[in-house]
Structure 1
Amino acid sequence: MAGKPLTLSLVKKFIPSRKAKSRKGENGIVLIVGGSYIYHGAPILSSIAALRCGTDLVYTAVPKINVSATRSVSPNLIVIPLVDQKLTRGAVNKLIGALPRNLDSATIGMGLAVQDKNALLLLIQSLLDRDVRLSLDASALIPEVLPLLADKNVVVTPHAGEFKRLFGIAPPNSKKERISLVEKCAKENGITVLLKGATDVISDGKTTFLNEKKTPGMTVGGTGDVLSGLVAGMLSKNRKPLESAAAATFINGLAGKATQKKLGLHMTSMDLLENLASVMKPFDKIV
């Protein structure tokens, strides 16, 4: 099947209206799990992106060595320390005990150092058991997670290298073949796949969307972390993973275009965050 290009009018349908009398928490509660000794910035970018997405509350779980740095970036983040430097079963068990019961969505993996892959599987299964919608990226994209995800509300957001690690096959350069492979992997595993690239391919195996960005400035580190936060933010308000992933990549692309127009090829992911609010305003609906 051929992919359908994403448009402003189409994406508007994927972003729910906000009730004029809504209260804190009713517009999404998100968990971000990521970070390591080297990559302290990744979960910060994801967390701020989720907030800019219009999410009410974001809990950011990072290794305890990263807590001070994370808190210092923004007073808007609710930071939960992971008790170990890497993801361990002990860290997961304590995190699960510390989480609010009314989580809507989570994104896992950005910059995350995983010591025990069974700890990652435990975290994913525990969140799915609570009916939390998931976005998985980076370190969370290992083949062992796939059996847990079938027919759940899950989005995976690999780049080409992560796609090969997750599914065992590298995406071809041909756009047609690339689309076909994404559709096949999504259908076989019962998940929504968002393959990142110059043209993002988003599919649940039945419907496929394409988002052509034409923004080479977005190769800078961290733009994928911003996307992960946007996916989780969208999932917190829209239970349909395909629509949430499509909306997130479209918004991310719009912010990238706006940032590149302003700064050329000299942008950073923090610049991208600063443009999210302005590009999202046309999607605001209050009822």
Structure 2
Amino acid sequence: MGGGYGYAGAVHLAAEAALNSGAGLVSVATRKEHALQVHLLSPELMGHTVEQISDISELLSKATVLVLGPGMAQRQWAKRIWPALISLDLPRVIDADALNFLAETPAYSDNWVLTPHPGEAARLLQCSTVDILQDRYKAVRTLQEKYGGVIVLKGAGTLICAEDEVYVNTTGNPGMALGGMGDVLSGIIGSLLAQKYSLLEAAKLGVYLHGLAALITRLLQSVVSVGYVPAMY
């Protein structure tokens, strides 16, 4: 769920990532104009108009996992539906502007994965980004203590924290530092949750595969640039 005006691409990236990583049936709940685009860009995705929470109450009753936030934007549309979304008892991936709403109205749950970058983490902890970067291990543990669930603190060497356990991801490259990468990650983690992985397993595996895909893509780009095409092509 997401894709406020001007940000349709974010929720579409998350939905495509969920679909391509094995989620099965994927619905996109978004603004009316963007719901129509979903069918045009990806016929296998199901677009649903949501202007108020009642528009998708039936859809939410059938959902097994919710990815919330990609491209949501902090405008009246999102503010109108946020209170109902935060109270749902579904496995959830909370990303992007949904994290900013959570920072404004803190809540605790053992049934979600939060995926902040350092700036969003700073807002969640009401400190500066510099504070986060000075001790990322302390930051991710503090986030988990305050908000519960599993925390994915994105960056070079993404950290995944569940209770007192902290894991460090080793895949990825600097080329991932661009818009849309976080949306893709949230979609992958949501897909793994839908496939019955635990919160921690989905977060660890999702982050690893996300970074591995970037490494493979960079490798293939390098190979093609020197005029050699691998046999798989």
Q: Common fold, TM-score beyond 0.5?
A: yes
Match for residue 105 of structure 1?
65
Equivalent residues in 2 for 1:23-102 (5 A)? Answer: 33-83=1-51, 91-96=52-57, 98-99=58-59, 101-102=61-62
More helix by share: 2
Match for residue 191 of structure 1?
149
Gaps of 5+ in 2: 223-231
What CA RMSD, in Å, does the superposition of the two structures yield over aligned residues?
1.9
2:63 & 2:212 partners in 1: Cα distance?
28
- State the SS of the aligned residue for 1:141: helix
Within the candidate set 220, 225, 235, 2:178 is matched to 220
1:80 & 1:207 partners in 2: Cα distance?
38
Within the candidate set 155, 169, 172, 1:211 is matched to 169
- State the SS of the aligned residue for 1:173: helix
- State the SS of the aligned residue for 1:57: coil
Aligned residue identity for 1:81: T
- State the SS of the aligned residue for 1:79: strand
Q: How far 1:100 moved relative to its partner?
A: 5.5
**Is 1:248 aligned to 2:218, yes or no?**
no
Aligned residue identity for 1:110: P
Gaps of 5+ in 1: 1-32, 84-90, 265-277, 279-287
Identity of aligned residues (%): 32
- CA gap of 1:36–1:223, structure 2 versus 1, over 3 A, is same
Q: How far 1:189 moved relative to its partner?
A: 2.5
- State the SS of the aligned residue for 1:119: helix
Q: How far 1:81 moved relative to its partner?
A: 1.1
Aligned residues: 217
- CA gap of 1:227–1:214, structure 2 versus 1, over 3 A, is closer
- State the SS of the aligned residue for 1:172: helix
Match for residue 268 of structure 1?
none
1:183 & 1:56 partners in 2: Cα distance?
33
Task: Tell me if structure 2 keeps the 8 A contact 1:184–1:205.
Answer: no
- CA gap of 1:100–1:39, structure 2 versus 1, over 3 A, is closer
1:111 & 1:207 partners in 2: Cα distance?
30
- CA gap of 1:248–1:214, structure 2 versus 1, over 3 A, is closer
